[in-house]
Structure 1
Amino acid sequence: MRHNKAWLAALVAVPLALSGCSGTGQTTTAATTDAVSGTIAVVTHSTPGDNFWDVVKSGAEQAGADLGMNVTYQGDGDPVKQSQLIDAAVASKPAGIIVSMANPDGVRGAVEKAVAAGIPVITINAGMEQSKEFGASTHVGQSEYLAGQGAGEELATAGATNVICVIHEAGNVALEERCAGAADKLDTVTNLQVDVANIADAKNTISSMLLSDPSIDGVLTLNPGIAVAAAQANEEAGGTAQLATFDVSADVTKLIEDGSILFAVDQQPYSQGYLPVVFLTLQLRNGDVAGGGQPVYSGPAFITKENAAQVAEFAVKGTR
């Protein structure tokens, strides 16, 4: 996503005028208390070194810079530790909180505490189905089940019938929904659990699966790092399986361009970071609530050989 500063200036001009904010936009409306800072806290289930979450972080920080809001970012894949990060953010009395919910039940208490404290909350990426129930004003992401169906349809069109769906984070409901959606459109789908923190082991696991069962003719990964590992594993196993992935990186776009990967389902993580900061700022400055009680979709978009070069330009910059 490329942000358009002229459009953005027009978007926030009225809220700035109505709220009487300074040019920096760091003061809040009269509806907030003096104890509330101009900080938006982002707390996700990210793990260190995950390119996807680096892009989300970049989007959030850029939106903060564009709007004059201070944005902090923290992440932990353990729902207990993520909840502790949310609790700490609540204690700091931020203007708003942005949370991903890979394990909704695991972070529910912390999210509901934030809402009870009067802090506006927007959820992103995972937890769309639970977002409204937990008190968030909206959710920014994609329908993972529908995106999975789209991926399944594309793989089926390419001739795949027996597909392994590689889940890289245990307990992540969004990943499970993607695989379930794909299974709805394919003859056979087998879920394969790997650990995104150990890419080398993931490659070996995928390679072993392909070598042990020659009838597997498709691999669907749900993370760009795992996608690269799957491409290597497929080559080691003879290169006969059709590969597809969720999410994009510079390496993934290269593999799409050379035909090693059929396509990537892009949920546009830069938007998932950028948009909720915009939405919270508008809510604070003008009382606007985006989405009308419904999720705001950041995807899916499909990256294929036809448009991979265009997307690669932004992937290299770290915005796709």
Structure 2
Amino acid sequence: MDRSLHPRSRRVAPLAAVAAAALLAAGCSSSSGGKRAEEEGADVSAGKANTPRMTVAMVTHAAPGDTFWDTIRKGAQAAAAKDNIKLVYSSDPNAGNQANLVQNAIDQKVDGIAVTLAKASAMKDVVAKARHAGIPVVGFNAGVDDWKKQGLLEYFGQDETVAGEAFGKRLNDLGAKHDICVIQEQGHVALEARCAGVKQAFKGKTDILYVNGTDMPSVKSTITAKLKQDSSIDYVATLGAPFALTAVQSVSDAGSKAKVGTFDLNKDLVSAVKAGDIQFAVDQQPYLQGYLSVDALWLEKNNGNFSGGGEAPVLTGPAFVDKTNVDTIAKFAAKGTR
């Protein structure tokens, strides 16, 4: 994995030692159904904590069918199994509904909450209620510019602007001249920041293309139409693995010579990189985000620990995956942890 990237100094925080523990934990099975499910840690697990049972709520903005969140959930489950935690996972892409899920967690008097801040303003009041109730809250994945403002203990994820800039610089290195940056949810702060970063660093032309991420046939047709309309487009930048794989189909349907690069991974995406259908991916290590978020709440409760000194986020990316290192990543992706 390419570790040569050095995000802006104001963003840098060393990964806590607890990150190493992720390698020792194994994912546990979970129940499913609807937007909410309880995840029970395994009865027997190597190195399982003997601390009192905790309940942690993880509330995300995940859209149905987005496999990216399966990886985050696996990381959270692994930490829960190790730490003797009952994990209650729920999600809703609608910001108001997500806020209601956080309120439900407060009403249940959970011991900690891990939350994403994709629409930070909509979460502000309910996060404040959690803090007022004495429930520690950590952020992850989305909200790197808002977690401190809202008084969260810690944040685990990547700086999306830095990741976008790294993507743009990679396009420069590859000699690209004109890209489209495909945003699957308009107004999502992390996604908007990625494309803004690409546009800032890329020396060529960047067009922003909004698509409906919950309707993949529409995503495919919208990208195809754009490529047919403008033959000068030589790169498609997508912001998630499923959209990258769809973009490959769009390139073919449009008879375009454009190449595809993306943010985020899944098993099929790794295979596409190996095959040369996708040139590279920016990995933010979602398994690590899920794992550290849950483990951080256990550490805070049992030892008063918090990472980053409460001042800086714990960065889990960006790192590039391409043909030079994809074989190493593939063995982890096969287990669903990358």
Per the normalisation by structure 1, the TM-score is 0.89
Report the alpha carbon displacement of residue 239 of structure 1 after superposing the two structures with TM: 4.2
Q: How does 1:1-320 map to 2 (within 5 A)?
A: 3-5=22-24, 24-27=50-53, 38-186=54-202, 187-293=204-310, 294-320=312-338
Give me the CA root mean square deviation: 1.5
Q: For residue 306 of structure 1, give the secondary structure of its aligned residue in structure 2.
A: coil
Give unpaired runs (5+ residues) of structure 1: 7-21, 28-37
| CA distance in 1: counterparts of 2:78 and 2:62, whole angstroms | 18
The 3 A distance-change label for structure 1 pair 237 and 108 is same
Report the alpha carbon displacement of residue 218 of structure 1 after superposing the two structures with TM: 1.0
- Contact 2:117-2:123 within 8 A present in 1 as well: yes
The structure with the largest helix share of the pair is 1
- Contact 1:155-1:242 within 8 A present in 2 as well: no
Give runs of ≥4 in structure 1 deviating > 4 Å: none
Report the alpha carbon displacement of residue 54 of structure 1 after superposing the two structures with TM: 0.9
Identity of aligned residues (%): 41
| CA distance in 2: counterparts of 1:76 and 1:303, whole angstroms | 29
Report the alpha carbon displacement of residue 49 of structure 1 after superposing the two structures with TM: 1.4
Report the alpha carbon displacement of residue 236 of structure 1 after superposing the two structures with TM: 1.8
| CA distance in 1: counterparts of 2:259 and 2:168, whole angstroms | 12
The residue type paired with residue 288 of structure 2 is: S
Per the normalisation by structure 2, the TM-score is 0.85
Q: Deviations over 1:67-92 (max 9, x none)?
A: 11111110000000000000000111
| CA distance in 2: counterparts of 1:236 and 1:4, whole angstroms | 42
Q: Counterpart of 1:12?
A: none
Report the alpha carbon displacement of residue 26 of structure 1 after superposing the two structures with TM: 2.6
Structure 1 stretch displaced more, 310-319 or 120-129: 310-319
- Contact 2:49-2:82 within 8 A present in 1 as well: no
| CA distance in 1: counterparts of 2:185 and 2:93, whole angstroms | 8
Q: For residue 131 of structure 1, give the secondary structure of its aligned residue in structure 2.
A: coil
Q: For residue 203 of structure 1, give the secondary structure of its aligned residue in structure 2.
A: helix
Report the alpha carbon displacement of residue 23 of structure 1 after superposing the two structures with TM: 5.2
| CA distance in 2: counterparts of 1:193 and 1:243, whole angstroms | 16
The 3 A distance-change label for structure 1 pair 313 and 239 is farther
- Contact 1:139-1:295 within 8 A present in 2 as well: yes
Q: Deviations over 1:12-43 (max 9, x none)?
A: xxxxxxxxxx953234xxxxxxxxxx101000
